[in-house]
């Protein structure tokens, strides 16, 4: 059995430019860092909210093998229907009562070791709080169901940094890695916690640059100037920022041995 598993995990992939960014950088970083598997958060995949068959096919062709979601993943396509029609390995927010059983978590075998990916939704400042249960008690429940001898990665999709940080510390030593998504801004706190769990508050997004969370900057600036609701729109041409995290996990201890943020601006 190989000693370690190397994982490339892209943050929120936002719209057309986000998908282009993954298609350009996934093969480059996979070769450069000799990664074993690629994961991506796809809650914003199809024009910033939800996913479709076509946009998921693009990610599959780019080499993404496991997908995580968030509070917007249901916007374009009902996941119950998606679960029946496709075999994509999606870990949707397991603490959302709309989550199909098929998407509570995903397990694959890499380097003779199981890898488990779980997605949770935070509740502070988040939409749909009535459908979202406590992520801390939900992860305790899920950890009783997943394979015991496995590398376990948690995507905590949350607005508040406190939700993410607290969960990381709560799970330190019990899972391999806890990373955050949703805010689209990469944080500078990649670290290994005291008991060996890798941690990063937010991976950041893959999308338009410069923009405000992937949305045309003029639209969001106008929104703040006028204090009115404005239809969001995403650029489909221009520069792209690509944010990901590179993880190295020991296949025997299931602890993170290295965690590093990756960022590139491409034309």
Contact 263, 243 (CB under 8 A): yes
Active site residue 182: no
Residue 129 has pLDDT above 80, yes or no: no
The pair phi, psi for residue 30, each rounded to 5°, is -60, -45
Q: Which of 59-73, 155-169, 176-190, 209-223 has the lowest mean pLDDT?
A: 209-223
Q: What is the mean pLDDT of the chain?
A: 95
Report pLDDT digits (tens) over 27-70: 999 999 999 999 999 999 998 789 999 999 999 999 999 999 99
Report pLDDT digits (tens) over 167-177: 999 999 999 99
pLDDT band at 126 (very low <50, low <70, confident <90, very high): confident
Residue 262 has pLDDT above 90, yes or no: yes
Question: Averaged over 142-163, what is the pLDDT?
Answer: 96
* Residue 139 region by backbone torsions, left for phi larger than 0, else alpha for psi between -120 and 50, else beta: alpha
Report pLDDT digits (tens) over 182-197: 999 999 999 999 999 9
Q: Which of 209-218, 227-236, 239-248 has the lowest mean pLDDT?
A: 227-236
Residue 23 has pLDDT above 90, yes or no: yes
pLDDT of residue 194: 98
Report pLDDT digits (tens) over 98-118: 999 999 999 999 989 999 999
Percent of the chain beyond pLDDT 90?
Answer: 81
Q: How far apart are CA 169 and CA 252, in angstroms?
A: 22
Question: Averaged over 256-260, what is the pLDDT?
Answer: 98
Query: Class for domain 4-208+241-266, per CATH?
Result: alpha beta
Residue 229 has pLDDT above 90, yes or no: no
Catalytic residue among 47, 72, 184, 254: 72
pLDDT of residue 48: 74
pLDDT of residue 255: 98
pLDDT band at 128 (very low <50, low <70, confident <90, very high): low
Question: Averaged over 221-237, what is the pLDDT?
Answer: 86
Residue among 99, 240, 124, 231 at smallest CA distance from 183: 124
Strand partners, 8: 38, 246
Residue 232 has pLDDT above 80, yes or no: no
């Amino acid at each position: 059995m190989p000693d370690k598993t190397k994982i490339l995990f892209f943050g929120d992939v936002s719209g057309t430019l986000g998908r282009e960014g993954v298609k350009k950088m996934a093969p480059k970083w996979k070769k450069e860092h000799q990664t074993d598997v690629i994961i991506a958060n796809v809650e914003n995949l199809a024009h910033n909210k939800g996913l479709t068959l076509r946009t998921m096919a693009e990610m599959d062709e780019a080499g993404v093998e496991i997908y995580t979601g968030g509070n917007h993943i249901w916007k374009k396509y009902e996941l119950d229907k998606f679960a029946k029609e496709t075999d994509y390995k999606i870990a949707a927010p397991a603490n959302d009562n709309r989550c199909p059983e098929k998407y509570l978590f995903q397990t694959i075998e890499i380097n003779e070791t199981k890898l488990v990916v779980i997605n949770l939704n935070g509740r502070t400042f988040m939409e749909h709080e009535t459908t979202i249960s406590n992520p801390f008690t939900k992860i305790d429940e899920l950890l009783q169901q997943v394979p015991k001898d496995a590398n376990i990665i948690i995507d905590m999709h949350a607005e508040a940094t406190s939700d993410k940080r607290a969960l990381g510390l709560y799970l330190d030593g019990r899972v391999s890695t806890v990373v955050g998504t949703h805010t689209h801004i990469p944080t500078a706190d990649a670290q290994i916690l005291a008991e060996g769990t890798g941690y990063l508050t937010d991976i950041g997004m893959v999308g338009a640059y410069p923009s405000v969370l992937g949305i045309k900057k003029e639209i969001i600036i106008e929104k703040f100037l006028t204090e009115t609701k404005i239809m969001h729109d995403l650029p489909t041409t221009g520069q792209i920022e690509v944010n990901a995290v590179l993880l190295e996990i020991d296949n025997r201890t299931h602890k993170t041995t290295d965690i590093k943020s990756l960022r590139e601006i491409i034309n």
